[in-house]
Amino acid sequence: MPESAMPAIAAAPSSEPAHPRPRPGRRRAGGLAATVLGLTLLAAGAAGCSSGGGDQKSGGSAAAAQPTGIQVPAKIGSLEKMAGEDKFGTPDDGISKAVRKSLHYVGYSKDANDASAPNVIVEGGAGLPIPDEASEPDAVKRLLGVWSISTDRAQATKVSSGSAGGTAECAPNGTVPKDTDCGWVNGKVALVMNFTGFTRDEARALVPKILDAMVTS
C-alpha cells in the first residue's frame, strides 16, 4: 500500500498545502486483484489473533467497545490533516464498492504546508481484507503483508492501542529503515500507519493517539 514518503524540499516551505504521496513499491502491485479475491474479511475475533493478543487499553483493563469504522478529524494533537482526496486503492485492486466506501487514505503532518515535515499516512477501515489465519497466526503481520509489503515484519513488536483496543504492532520499514510502519486490527476494522520523519519512539507513541482520534464504535 502507498507509503508516507514526501519529497524532500531544500528551499523554504512552499505556500501550497502538502499532499500525502505514496513511496514507490509500498503496496502489493501486480496480482493484487487476484490476491484480494482470495482474502477473507476480518473475523469478529481477529483482535486476539496476534501473539499474546487481546485488548490493550491504556491505563485500564476494561474491554474497549467493538469498533465500527474510522473518522477523519482535521487535527490529531499537533498533527494536521494534509490536503488531497481521501481515496483508498484503485478500481482494479479487487475490493468491492461496498467495502471500499468504508476505507480511507489520509495523511497527517506536523506542518501541512511543508512537504518535508514529518508525516504519517493512515489507510484502511471497516472490512479491509487480509489473508486468513492459515497463512500466519499474527493478524497484524498478515495485514502488513498485503497492505505494507516493504515492512520488516520479522521485527514487529506490540505497541499500545489506547482506547481502540485490539492489537497494534510497529516495525521498521525494510526499504527505508529510519521509517516506521504500524498496523492495527480489532474485529472487522484495520488500519495501516506509515510514518516518515518520526523517530521510532515518536511513531510508537503516536499510534494510540491516532487510533483514539480516528476509530469509531
How big is the CA angle at 156 (ends 176 and 133), to the nearest 5 degrees?
120
pTM, rounded to two decimals = 0.77
Q: Residue 51 — φ and ψ, nearest 5°?
A: -50, 125
Mean of the per-residue pLDDT values of the chain: 79
88 compared with 26, residue with greater pLDDT: 88
pLDDT value of position 81: 96
pLDDT value of position 18: 59
What does the alpha-carbon distance between residue 217 and residue 66 come to, in Å, rounded to a whole number?
6
Confidence of residue 134 (pLDDT cuts 50, 70, 90): confident
pLDDT value of position 75: 97
| Cell output for 185 | 486490527
Decide if 55 contacts 215 (C-beta within 8 A).
no
pLDDT value of position 94: 82
- Is it the case that residue 102 has pLDDT exceeding 60? yes
For residue 89, count CB atoms less than 10 angstroms from its CB and return exposed for 0-12, middle for 13-18, buried for 19 or more.
Answer: buried
Closest residue by Cα to residue 86 from 26, 19, 41: 19
Tens of pLDDT, residue by residue over 27-71, are 543 334 334 434 444 433 333 443 333 333 333 334 557 999 999
- Is it the case that residue 139 has pLDDT exceeding 80? yes
- Name residue 4's amino acid: S
Mean pLDDT, range 171-177, rounded to an integer: 96
pLDDT value of position 133: 84
In this structure, is the dihedral angle defined by the CA atoms of residues 135, 142, 52 and 216, taken in order, positive or negative? negative
Give the helix/strand (H/E) hosting 35: helix 32-37
Tens of pLDDT, residue by residue over 201-211, are 999 999 999 99
For residue 209, count CB atoms less than 10 angstroms from its CB and return exposed for 0-12, middle for 13-18, buried for 19 or more.
Answer: middle
